[in-house]
Amino acid sequence: MFRLAVCDDDPQSLSHMISLIEEYRLISPFPLEYAAFHNGMELASALEQGTSFDLYCLDIVMPGFDGIELGREIRNHDKAAPIIYFTSSPEFALDSYSVKAANYILKPITKEKFFFTLNEVLEEIKHTEEASLTLKDSRGIHKILLSSLVYAEAMGRKVLYHLNSGRVLECSIRFSEVSDTLLKYPYFAKPHRSYIVNMNYINTIENTAITLQTSDSIPIAQGKGKEIKDVYLAFQMKRE
């Protein structure tokens, strides 16, 4: 069951979104429940009390506590859950990248565009949640979700798998095999011959290094800075 939060301060717009979500639930292959919030403070308060969602649909322009500020608050609690923004102007789309938004939809919101975006995002969530690796180290066999893998690092004849829990698994495997496996997924990138990074955990990208949300610094191979920035931008935009 996927849990969706929808937030819009305009009652008419919120009602319209609820109607679309209800209609989507009737035809969607994804089981979905939702909660509606009339302003950003309501949703922020729910997060503070421990409520969580798999997906957030937010209006950008809201008085007092706008959608971008709300997105930052969401990221304080959840680094990876997709955020879809509703906006009346394309100029606000640039702001949405600061909170790693999955997509934005220009108002007025049509059923076709909204359904297409929901299908795309929920399919990716499902794919990400189910994707896993089975690893063998000196302590035994471990199954890890790819969503928990922050980055993989080649170290001599071994590969170190750095997880979001802070745990590191050391496995004897060729890094080329690891690359072939991980780079099949759109959220992994290879900035350096010895590193593969889960782009969901990227904080900043400079010309020579990537800083992750874990505060780890990953080198970028010489001359590859622009390529990695372009790959990351395309991943963030997720635009057909």
pLDDT digits (tens, 9 = 90+) for 126-161: 776 667 888 988 888 888 889 899 999 999 999 999
Both tokens assigned to 9: 């301060």
pLDDT digits (tens, 9 = 90+) for 179-193: 999 998 889 999 999
Mean of the per-residue pLDDT values of the chain: 89
Burial of 55 (0-12, 13-18, 19+ CB in 10 A): buried
Q: Is the pLDDT of residue 88 over 70?
A: yes
Q: Model confidence at 239, in pLDDT bands (50, 70, 90)?
A: very low
Q: Model confidence at 240, in pLDDT bands (50, 70, 90)?
A: very low
Q: Are 2 and 31 in contact (CB under 8 A)?
A: yes
Q: Return d(Cα 6, Cα 18) in angstroms, integer.
A: 8
Q: Return d(Cα 42, Cα 9) in angstroms, integer.
A: 10
Q: Is the pLDDT of residue 98 over 70?
A: no
Name which residue leads in pLDDT, 99 or 54. 54
3-state secondary structure of 39: coil
CA dihedral 190, 191, 194, 197 (to 10 degrees): -60
Stretch 21-35: mean pLDDT, rounded?
93
Both tokens assigned to 200: 């969901």
Domains along the chain with CATH numbers: 2-129 (3.40.50.2300), 132-237 (2.40.50.1020)
Q: Is the pLDDT of residue 194 over 60?
A: yes
- DSSP H helix total and E strand total for the chain: 7, 15
Q: Are 238 and 102 in contact (CB under 8 A)?
A: yes
Name which residue leads in pLDDT, 1 or 10. 10
